[in-house]
Amino acid sequence: MSSRGRFITIEGGEGVGKSTNIACVEQCLQERGIRYLKTREPGGTPLAEELRNLLLAPRTEKVCEKTELLLVFAARAQHLEQVIRPALAQGTWVLCDRFTDATYAYQGGGRGLSLATIALLEELVQEGLQPDLTLLLDVDVRTGMARVGKRGGEADRFEREQLVFFEAVRAIYRDRAASNPARFRLVDAGQPLASVQHDIRCAMAEFLERNHG
Ligand code: Z5A
């Protein structure tokens, strides 16, 4: 039986460059010949992608904070059972664009829901499963928002939030990284792209050294 795969997540607030940089993480895995699966949250299965669409679509009806939280965890439960756990059990590594740290940051920090409530749902859905490595891309909020503005396209329900929301998101992300240094690697995403990718490669090299001898 092959050994359990490793679970890597990439996180950050608006405009940190997750989509741009996830390819760099993939390249590190490919160079080592590691079998991996790239996925994302909310989403990753047909049902969870439908829930993602419900979550992100701008709408006139106010979405209650608890409704949002439950939708996020409903999508996660499906994703874990259908995709993440089976892959890890087969020895496939999982690279996930956002996971539960985003829930603490967006629904806890941004929406102001209790972190203890989030922890309860986390335990219910994850039963102790945590990422092995979380790359947190961090940039000051104004810079990130300016990048998203330049990228263009129609803003989703989260992207329509204001500075104060994203400051709260960033604060929770940073707190979580500071209180869990064994799992998190904080990357300064305000640097030029080449420097960001250099730091990601260093973080990955260190992790691979320990996890893929
Ligand atoms: N959400 C939630 O509320 N609760 C949860 O539990 C989860 C999620 C899991 C969708 O996520 C939403 O779901 C998300 C939170 C919520 N909120 N929003 N919005 P998503 O991950 O799909 O959405 P996103 O944040 O928009 O991700 P993204 O598309 O990866 O955006 P990004 O991080 O900003 O990445 P980017 O498109 O690569 O970069 C933005 C621009 O900056 C782009 O033009 C780049 O060329 C540029 N860029 C990137 N890096 C640099 C550097 N270093 N210098 C200069 N310019 C750069």
Tens of pLDDT, residue by residue over 52-98, are 999 999 999 999 999 999 999 999 999 999 999 999 999 999 999 99
For a pLDDT cut of 90, what percent of the chain falls above it? Answer: 94
Integer CA distances (angstroms), 89 to 38, 60, 81, 92, 127, in order: 16, 42, 11, 7, 15
Is the pLDDT at 213 greater than 90, yes or no?
no
Task: Tell whether ligand 1 has an atom less than 6 A from the beta carbon of residue 17.
Answer: yes
pLDDT of residue 151: 84
Residue 129's closest CA among 164, 77, 179? 77
pLDDT at site 75? 98
Closest residue by CA, ligand 1 atom 56: 147
pLDDT tens, residue by residue, 177-204: 999 999 999 999 999 999 999 999 999 9
Q: Is 66 in the pocket of ligand 1 (CB under 6 A)?
A: no
Give the pLDDT score at 18: 96
Those residues whose C-beta lies under 8 Å from the C-beta of residue 189, and which sit 6 or more positions away, are: 12, 16, 17, 21, 137, 138, 139, 144, 196
CA 170 – CA 109 distance, rounded (Å): 8
The domain 7-211 having CATH identifier 3.10.450.50: the answer here is: no
Greatest Cα-to-Cα distance within the chain, rounded to the nearest angstrom: 52
Q: Give me the pLDDT at residue 1, please.
A: 45
Per-residue model confidence as pLDDT tens digits over 125-160: 999 999 999 999 999 999 999 999 888 888 999 989
With a 6 Å cutoff on the Cβ, whether 161 touches ligand 1 is no
pLDDT band at residue 13, thresholds of 50, 70 and 90?
very high
CA of residue 18 to ligand 1 center, whole Å: 5
Closest alpha carbon to 129 in 18, 3, 40, 7: 7
pLDDT at 109 (0 to 100): 98
Helices 115-126 and 65-79 pack at an angle, to 10 degrees, of 20
**CB count in 10 Å sphere of residue 66:** 12
Strands 7-11 and 133-138, how do they pair?
parallel
CA 51 / ligand 1 centre spacing (Å)? 18
The finding on whether 49 has its CB within 6 A of some atom of ligand 1 is no
Of 52, 54, 25, 48, nearest to 38 by C-alpha is 25
Contact 135, 157 (CB under 8 A): no
Nearest CA to ligand 1 atom 53: 193
Supply the pLDDT for residue 152: 82
Judge if the beta carbon of residue 147 lies within 6 A of ligand 1: yes
Q: What is the mean pLDDT of the chain?
A: 96
**How far apart (Å, rounded) are the C-alpha atoms in residues 43 and 50?**
8
Q: Contact, 55 vs 157, CB < 8 A?
A: yes
If you search the block for the tokens 């439908």, which residue do you land on? 50
**Strand residues in the chain grouped as ranges (E):** 7-11, 36-40, 93-97, 133-138, 184-188
- Residue 47 has a pLDDT of 98
Whether the predicted pLDDT of 2 surpasses 70: no
What is the pLDDT averaged over residues 168-172? 98
The pTM of the full predicted model, rounded to 2 decimals, is 0.97
